[in-house]
Each structure stands twice: as C-alpha cells, then as structure tokens.
Amino acid sequence: MRFIAELLVGGIVLFGALLGALSAFGLIRLPDVYLRSHAATKSATLGVLFVLGGTFLYFLLFMDHLSIKLLLGIVFVFITGPVAGHLNGRAAYRSGVAMWKHSVQDDLGPALKKEQTQADQAN
C-alpha cells in the first residue's frame, strides 16, 4: 500500500512539474501577450496546485502531519492566479496592446465601446 501511495504522490508532483514546463513553453512560443497570459495562468496555476497538492499528500500520508500552510498556499494560488492573469490581460487590452493578427474573436472591444457610449451619454 505504501508503494502505491508513493507512486501516486510522485505522479501528482511530476504532472505538476510537466504543467509548469508546458507553461514555460507557452510563454516562449505563443505570439501575443494575451495568449501568453492564458498559457501562464492556466498551466502554471494548475502545475503549482498539483505540486503543492502532492506535497500536502506526502506530508499527510508519510509524515502524519496536516500542513495548514500548504492548504493555505493551495487556496491562495487557486484564487489569485486566475484573477492576476485576467487583470494582466485586461490592463494590456486597455493600454492598447495589439492582438495577434490571426485572432478571430474580441469580446472585450464591443463591451468597452458600449461602456464608453453610456459614459458619454451620462455626461
């Protein structure tokens, strides 16, 4: 039983490390800031969650130690990672950073124009 638990914990940590590597690959290869932000946010956040989750399981199963600090770290990364990625993308869009020339959808553009026209009508 111990061997299976070791394999499970090792697999979880390894999967998290692979997701982190995939995130780094996405940061290098993707063409614009929005796609890079997406790659960094999704895979890096999930990778860190898997590594911290595997570490939590290791301490719980093999050291008989319930780590509240690791649980808080997992919750903190789970909440702040996607929010930070969203805000970075939104700030880049509002500051005029161009989208990739082959992008097919721009959901924020019409919403910002509508917001601007409502603000102009209010004034």
The mean pLDDT values, 10 residues at a time, for the chain of 123 residues are 92 95 88 87 89 95 92 92 90 86 82 84 81
pLDDT at 73: 92
Cα-Cα-Cα-Cα dihedral sign, residues 43, 46, 52, 53: negative
- Round to whole Å and give the CA distance between 97 and 93: 6
pLDDT of residue 111: 82
pTM across the whole model = 0.80
DSSP the chain: -HHHHHHHHHHHHHHHHHHHHHHHHHHHH-SSHHHHHHHIIIIIHHHHHHHHHHHHHHHHHHS----HHHHHHHHHHHHHHHHHHHHHHHHHHHTTPPPPTT----SHHHHHHHHHHHHHHH-
Residues 6+ apart with CB under 8 A from 58: 9, 13
